[in-house]
Structure formats: structure tokens, C-alpha cells
Amino acid sequence: MSHCIFCQIIAGQSPAHKVYEDEHLLAFMDLFPAGPGHALLIPKVHAENIFELDEAVMARIGAFSQKLATAVKTAFAADGLVVFQLNGEAAGQTVFHYHMHFLPRMAGNNPMAMHGKVMAEAAVLADHAARIRAALGEG
Ligand code: 5GP
Ligand code: ZN
């Protein structure tokens, strides 16, 4: 089994609340959300960070990131959406399999944190994933 938690999720060896999957990409809810609707988008091929990612894979992620951003914003009726991506420990990266974060923001929200401290309840993540899947389907 891979030591990479995201590769384990891709392989179905670890659970996740999925919002999108195709041959190359997987999107799922962050287990420690920095806010409601915090979703992650990863390539299925393991690459540690932006510097290692294949250009063609990067293009697929870029194209789909716009669809996912729209769906997450719609699903949570958010005023704004933060998209961020960390590379290397010094940048705050904690899982070393390339991923983009999608974090809905509401006007007047508290100062933004990139990482949540509390594991979300499974029922909440299941509901949030369903909302994003529905919004993706509508888009
Ligand atoms: P990074 O700090 O590397 O940019 O972000 C890693 C993200 O992955 C964090 O927001 C963290 O909450 C999330 N995360 C860590 N382990 C798991 C896991 O096992 N499942 C899911 N769904 N998210 C995880
Ligand atoms: Zn991996």
C-alpha cells in the first residue's frame, strides 16, 4: 500500500467524500475543513508538488478547476471563493501529493485560515459533497 494518503484514497484503500472523479482527476471534501465546503482537487498520478507535475496533467487540472470553483461557489451560495495550492513544507504543505484547495468565503467571515483544526463529521461532509456534486451536474 502506498504511504501517500491521497494515493490511498485514489486506490479506494482509504475513505473520502468524493465530489468528482474521472480517469485523471479526483475531487473530494477536506477532512479538516477550514470552512464549510472546503474541497480538494488532485491528479490521480502521484506528483509531490507543482514542480513535479506533468504539464498535460496540469492542463487538465486547470481546465476542471474552473468548473469545480463554480460548483463549490454555487453549492454554498458563497460571496467569494479562495483557490490555493501549497508547495513544500516551508509553504505549509502537509500532504505531499499535489492538490488544489477550494474554500468558499462569505462576506464578513473571520480572518481566513488555510487549514482547519477539527475533523469534520462524516454526515456533514457527505451532505456538502452531495451539494457540490449537484452543482457540478447543473453546470
Ligand atoms: P496541504 O497543507 O498539504 O496544502 O493540505 C492538505 C489538506 O489535506 C489539509 O487541508 C488537510 O485537512 C487535508 N487532509 C489531510 N489528510 C486527509 C485525509 O485523510 N482525507 C482528506 N479528505 N483530507 C485530508
Ligand atoms: Zn500520492
Query: Of the residues 26, 30, 100, 112, which should be mutated to test ligand 1's pocket, given the most ligand atoms within 8 Å of the CB?
Result: 30
The DSSP secondary structure of 47-104, one letter per residue, reads -SSTTTS-HHHHHHHHHHHHHHHHHHHHHTT-SEEEEE---SGGGT--S-S--EEEEE
What amino acid is encoded at 136 in this protein? L
CA of 17 to the centre of ligand 2 (A): 17
Give first-to-last CA distance, the chain, whole Å. Answer: 36
Catalytic residue among 99, 101, 115, 128: 99
The pLDDT confidence band at residue 25, using thresholds 50, 70 and 90, is very high
Q: Comparing C-alpha atoms, which of 91, 89, 71 is closest to residue 81?
A: 71
Q: Give the model confidence (pLDDT) of 41-77 as tens digits.
A: 999 999 999 999 999 999 999 999 999 999 999 999 9
For cell 481546465, what's the residue? Answer: 63
- pLDDT in the model for residue 71: 98
Supply the residue whose CA is at minimum distance from atom 21 of ligand 1.
31
Q: Is 110 in the pocket of ligand 1 (CB under 6 A)?
A: no
- Structural domains in the chain plus CATH codes: 5-136 (3.30.428.10)
